[in-house]
Amino acid sequence: MGVNIRGRHFLKLLDFSTEEIEYLLDLSANFKRMKHVGIPHRYLEGKNVAIIFEKTSTRTRCSFEVGAYDLGMGVTYLDPTGSQMGHKESIADTARVLGRMYDGIEYRGFEQAKVEELAKYAGVPVWNGLTNEFHPTQMLADILTFRENFNDSIRGRTLTFMGDAGNNVGNSLMVVCAKLGVNFVACGPSENMPDAALVETCRKLASEHGSTVTLTEDVHEGVKDASAIYTDIWVSMGEPDELYKRRIPLMEPYRVTADVMAQAQPGCIFLHCLPSFHDTNTTKGAEVAEKFGISEMEVTNEVFESAASKVFDQAENRMHTIKAVMYATLS
């Protein structure tokens, strides 16, 4: 029997089997081919989705909107000023209202408990666009990009996450790698590692799929077997700017440089979920540069702009993978 996830929520990848994740990746690749050759795929004509953003985003919002439009759906965008959720109306009540009007609901915000509560009461599929704990839609784009660069053969390869490995991206990468038989390495300060209970869960999953989960503070040990090196900003959305003073000296040894890439396996690619502080051409980058005297943070501009960098393929793949999630849960 084929994979069928119609009516399911998409809250975290721990909820999905290896077969279901691979199905979503294959579906994403198919939608990408259709998009590139101009084959219409308005399979969900007449449906409507609501996308709730308590945290702003370029890639997530555009991916949900364009993906929904491509599938023939209507979209309503709700930012913190466009909804009473959590202010004058509870999450449960908001979920039950939106669930009567929409066929699916996306939530991007803070606590994982919020998206879980939306899912409990909505009565329609709810999709996690990012929470403090997990970022499952990003993972599908990351792994699709990884597959594309290694002829769909990633089982047994190693993906290394550098820096703040205890954030939502580090957590989610560890989960998806464990589920797909990819060796995962978290390389960063010991105080910024994933939660111990999640590490234990992922090590059990990895052993079932012939892979490993490794935590290390040593850069060479962390990257020597890597086919992909991934990093993220050092201070995440929603964290106070005061953290820069502490995080910069703590994280600087884990900046992805050309030397770090050279220590990895031949053909190693560079991944980043974006946005990135690889130069000072942003307001925040300029502010940090002026205050702390650094022009690059988690990755050098040299690596970011190199042939090994696949970050804009990742960004595009957000749309194809999010489209696959909406189609698979609504069709």
- List pLDDT tens digits, range 239-251: 888 899 999 999 9
Q: Residues 159, 64: one domain? A: no
- DSSP character at residue 194: P
Q: Domains in the chain: how many in total?
A: 2
Same domain, 121 and 33: yes
What is the percent of the chain where pLDDT is above 70? Answer: 99
Q: pLDDT category, 1, cuts 50, 70, 90?
A: low
Cβ-proximal residues to 1 (8 Å cutoff; 6+ apart), any chain: none
Out of 59, 135, 247, 272, pick the active-site residue: 135
Q: Which of 147, 157, 247, 318 is catalytic?
A: 318
Q: Are residue 303 and residue 322 in the same domain, yes or no? A: no
Among candidate residues 59, 157, 232, 320, the one labeled active-site is: 232
Q: What is the pTM of this model?
A: 0.96
- Report CA-CA distances (Å) from 288 to 26, 237, 298: 41, 15, 13
Active site (annotated) includes residue 62: no
pLDDT of residue 236: 82
Task: Tell me whether residue 3 is in a domain.
Answer: no
**Domain range spanning residue 278?**
155-226+228-263+269-307
Both 248 and 128 in a single domain? no
Q: What is the mean pLDDT of the chain?
A: 96
In 3D space, the residue among 175, 218, 168, 163 whose CA is nearest the CA of residue 200 turns out to be 175
Whether residues 182 and 275 fall in one domain: yes
* Annotated catalytic residue, options 177, 202, 268, 273: 273
- Residues 6 or more apart whose Cβ sits within 8 Å of residue 51: 61, 64, 65, 75, 76, 77, 78, 105, 106, 108, 129
Question: What pLDDT score was predicted for residue 240?
Answer: 86
Residue in 9, 59, 61, 108 annotated catalytic: 108
Whether 232 sits among the annotated catalytic residues: the reply is yes
Is 144 part of a structural domain of the chain? no
Catalytic residue check, 318: yes
Q: Are 239 and 178 in contact (CB under 8 A)?
A: no
What pLDDT is recorded for position 237? 75
Q: How would you list the strands of the sheet with 158-162, edge to edge? A: 213-216, 183-187, 158-162, 228-231, 269-272
Tokens representing 229? 């090196």
